[in-house]
Copies of this chain bind each other. A is one copy, B any other.
Amino acid sequence: MLWNGWGDPDRATRLPDSVVGLLRELLGVRSVPLPPVSLEEMAPPAPRPAVRALAEIVGPEHVSTDDEARIRHTRGKSTADLLRMRAGDAREAPDAVVLPGAHAEVLAVLERCSRERIAVVPFGGGTSVVGGLTAEGEGFAGVVALDLRRLDRITALDTVSRTVTLQAGLRAPRAEALLAERGYTLGHYPQSYEWATIGGFAATRSSGQASAGYGRFDEMVAGLTVATPRGTLTLGRAPKSAAGPDLRQLVLGSEGAFGVITDVTARVRPLPEARRYEGWRFPTFAEGTAAVRALAQDGPLPTVLRLSDETETMIGLARPEEIGEGRGDGCLAICGYEGAREEVAGRRAGAHAVLRAHGGEPLGEGPGESWAAGRFSAPYLRDALLDVGAFAETLETAGFWSNLPRLLETVRLTLSRELPSSLVMCHISHVYPDGASLYFTVVSAQGDDPLARWRRAKAAVSDAIVEAGGTISHHHGVGTDHRDWLAREAGPLGTDVLRAVKDRLDPMGVLNPGVLVPSTRSGG
């Protein structure tokens, strides 16, 4: 993973000159920014000595205090994170990177850190876009990134129950490869798929691009093992239960603030026998929305179901070489089907009837395959945009169907007001019988102080989302960026409940301080 950008450096995207021209013309992108600071020039503060003791638990070879390891664990991958890295800001680097090799080691590290007032930031794929990896370390004797990459095995596959137990540090593509050898799949493909880990999926309530067919990650989880400073939680004896509140759903979305997930038991499905992705065009976003709502409420539901608004359809982010080449009017929907051959055929035929009845025009497999080919590429494009002085970021929400037009309107208006001369695109990518997500991409010129400008715009949009009754995140999570709005969403009493759980599991407040709920007990 590129330390100050996204993904595999060899796959970096270069923008065609025509696109650079368009950015100049449309968005006023002018100044080419200073070249990013090099890795060698980065100068994180000296590591504090307190963290050295953790070598006693994991072995000295599994505690790293060198600059590169620390820089690579400094932040996540929001645009603000990348801009800070490009500017050479390594102030928030952890004092050490600790790599435990077993649940018992995680437990011992947490107990020790709790005693020694060392903050612990669990680190999976490092793909957070909400500040989930930037602990508020003030007052602590040190901050460590607890990188779970050594917990990378499948420990059980139950083919009767169709569940798999995966260690938290296992990366998604490796998990899929191991499962494929046995004929199974999780079917979980968020945009971060190529880098993200199983533990991260669970900790952040990840939602994959095929959520219509395979469900969200929180819906796939049958069991969890969680290490906390006060011991281990082992959750999940049955698919569903009436034995009190579902504590799995309290750990899912807890983002390392309550404990460190060390393994996850998740539902698997047989590898799909057939797979078909297609494009459809709708005259308007409203008509397309009615079509996807009909599929979500009355079925049959495709495995992948997305609908881009007019602007996103026109721009077509997936293939930079095609940007601006005119994809026609209207709104593009992608409908993908995966499963047993006959079942896919039946479901596809049923969906076609619904799509047509709502004014959809079939575009064939071309746009579907094109979308599938570029489904993990957008973050590369962002780096290319940053290189030429543009700014690109995404944000998302979800709400009930009846409230979706209001949410869409309020976010669009707020972004246009806060970031004049910007391009605002939206899509629906996750649907439920009672509502859907809205995902926004904004592209503008960087201007003089893009960080401050974005901070203001993002705060205004977050206010608008909460005031319009939406949730502050459908699948990006809370981190530090959304924390204050989660507090408004949950209300003072709901926030206090989260606080109560954290206080009980993490009495010294060392777990990912500042993430999810405000820190009340900095170590000092």
Which 7 residue pairs are nearest across A and B when measured between Cβ atoms? A249-B249, A500-B504, A239-B432, A238-B398, A241-B471, A160-B402, A161-B400
Known interface pairs A158-B400, A231-B493, A346-B346; A433-B243 also in contact (CB < 8 Å): no
Q: Which of B204, B252, B492, B503 contacts A246 (CB 8 A)?
A: B252
Q: Are A233 and B491 in contact (CB under 8 A)?
A: yes
Q: Are B475 and A242 in contact (CB under 8 A)?
A: yes
Q: Are B474 and A242 in contact (CB under 8 A)?
A: yes
Q: A492 — which chain B residues lie within 8 A by C-beta?
A: 231
Q: A501 — which chain B residues lie within 8 A by C-beta?
A: 245, 497, 500-501
Q: Which of A205, A240, A399, A498 counts the most chain B CB atoms within 10 A? A: A240
Within A235-259, the residues touching B (CB, 8 Å) are 235, 237-247, 249-255, 258
Q: Are A241 and B500 in contact (CB under 8 A)?
A: no
Within A200-241, the residues touching B (CB, 8 Å) are 204-207, 216, 218, 222, 228, 230-235, 237-241
Q: Are A343 and B299 in contact (CB under 8 A)?
A: yes
Shortest C-beta distance, A395 to chain B (Å), equals 12
- In the assembled complex, A470 has its CB within 8 A of some CB on chain B: yes
Q: Are A433 and B343 in contact (CB under 8 A)?
A: no
Q: A432 — which chain B residues lie within 8 A by C-beta?
A: 239-240
Q: Are A161 and B435 in contact (CB under 8 A)?
A: yes
Stretch at the interface among A9-17, A80-88, A354-362, A482-490: A482-490
CB nearest neighbor in B for A505: B497
Chain A interface residue bracket vs B:
35 or more
Q: Are B242 and A205 in contact (CB under 8 A)?
A: yes
Q: Are B161 and A402 in contact (CB under 8 A)?
A: yes
Shortest C-beta distance, A425 to chain B (Å), equals 21
Q: A489 — which chain B residues lie within 8 A by C-beta?
A: 237, 243
Q: Are A500 and B503 in contact (CB under 8 A)?
A: yes
Q: Are A470 and B238 in contact (CB under 8 A)?
A: yes
Shortest C-beta distance, A274 to chain B (Å), equals 14
- In the assembled complex, A188 has its CB within 8 A of some CB on chain B: no
CB nearest neighbor in B for A259: B493
Given A243-B253, A243-B482, list of 6 further CB < 8 A pairs? A160-B402, A238-B398, A242-B473, A243-B485, A244-B255, A500-B504
- In the assembled complex, A461 has its CB within 8 A of some CB on chain B: no
Q: Which of B469, B476, B482, B497 contacts A504 (CB 8 A)?
A: B497
